[in-house]
Amino acid sequence: MAAPARDGWTVETLHDDYAQALREDRVLYDSETDHQRLRVFENARFGRVLTLDGVVQTTEGDEFIYHEMLSHVPILAHGAAKRVLIVGGGDGGMAREVLRHASVEHCTMVEIDAGVVAFSKEYLPALSDGAFDDPRLDLVIADGADFMAGGHEPYDVIIIDSTDPIGPGEVLFTDTFYDHARKLLTPEGILVTQNGVPFMQPDELRGTMRAFRALFNDWGCYLAHVPSYAGGPMALGWGSMSGAGRAVDPTVLQGRYASAGIETRYYTPEVHKAAFALPGYIARLLT
C-alpha cells in the first residue's frame, strides 16, 4: 500500500513500509522524459529537490555528502587517477567533484537520459557548477550497460551514480554489468557503486556484495549519511583487483588531500578511513 498523499508535500514511493515526506514550497518542474518522470520543487530546508519516478535523487542542501564520498574516496585512495568514468550522474554533481582533481585528465560520463542533463543545467545549475563545460569531460548519452560492454581504454576509477534498481537503473546492478566494469579497470583501478540504504534495502547491498565477492580480490562497502536518503546510512560499494586503495595509510591520505587542494564539507581523510567501519547489521549483509 502506498503512503497517503498529503497536499503540498511529496511523499516518497521508494519503500513499502516507510516513507519520507518533503514540503513543496514551490514546484518548478514536473514532466515525463522518454525514460522517467522528473520533478523539481523547492523546500526551505533542502533547497531544490530532484525526484525521478517519485524517488529523491538529489537535493541542493545535502548533495555534497553523496557526491564527495563517491568521488574523493576512490580518487584519493587510488592516488594517481587520470581517467575516471561516471555511469549515470546526469545532474552533473559527480562530474563537478571528480573534475576538482587537477590530476584527473579525462572524465567520461555515460548518462542514459539526455533529458536529465538538459534539465539539470537549467533547474539545478549549482549541481554541475560548470562541469559540463570542462574540456576534460566527455558526455556520452547511452545506456551504461551497453557502454560498459564495448571496448574502451581502461579507467582508474569507475563511479556508478545510479538510481535504485527499479526502472532504467536495474541493469546497473547485474553481475554481467559489474564484470564488464571490472574488465574496464586498470590493475590498481577502483569501482564504487551506489547501494541504497541497507536498513531499508538490505537485498540491494547483499546482491552487489555477492557479485563483488566473485569478481574482485578486494571488495566491501563504506557508508555515508545523506539526510534525504532516509532510513539510515547509505552503503557505497567498493571493488578492486588491488588491495592497495583500501589499505592506504591515513597519513598518506592526508598528504594527497592537502596536495589536491580541494575544500570539502563532508569528506576528510579521517571520515574516509572511518567510513569503512561497518555496524554489525551491515557487515552481516556481506557474509
Contacts to ligand AG3 by CB under 6 A = 14, 55, 57-58, 89, 91, 93-94, 161, 163-164, 194, 196-197, 201, 229
Q: How far apart are CA 85 and CA 99, in angstroms?
A: 11
Chain centre to alpha carbon of residue 71: 8
Task: Give catalytic status of residue 161 as yes or no.
Answer: yes
Report CA-CA distances (Å) from 242 to 188, 194, 232, 247. 5, 20, 30, 10
* CB closer to ligand AG3, 189 vs 196: 196
Q: How far apart are CA 29 and CA 263, in angstroms?
A: 31
* CB closer to ligand AG3, 113 vs 188: 113
Catalytic residue among 62, 113, 161, 164: 161
Least distance CB 50 / ligand AG3 (angstroms): 8
Residue 194: how many other CB atoms lie within 10 Å: 26
Q: Nearest 5 degrees, angle CA 26-CA 161-CA 117?
A: 50
* CB closer to ligand AG3, 111 vs 188: 111
Least distance CB 204 / ligand AG3 (angstroms): 8
For helices 202-215 and 175-183, the axis angle rounded to 10 degrees is 40
Least distance CB 60 / ligand AG3 (angstroms): 12
Q: How far apart are CA 174 and CA 46, in angstroms?
A: 32
* CB closer to ligand AG3, 76 vs 95: 95
Least distance CB 144 / ligand AG3 (angstroms): 13
Tell me the residue number closest to ligand AG3, measured at CB: 229
Q: How far apart are CA 87 and CA 70, in angstroms?
A: 12
Residues recognised as catalytic: 161
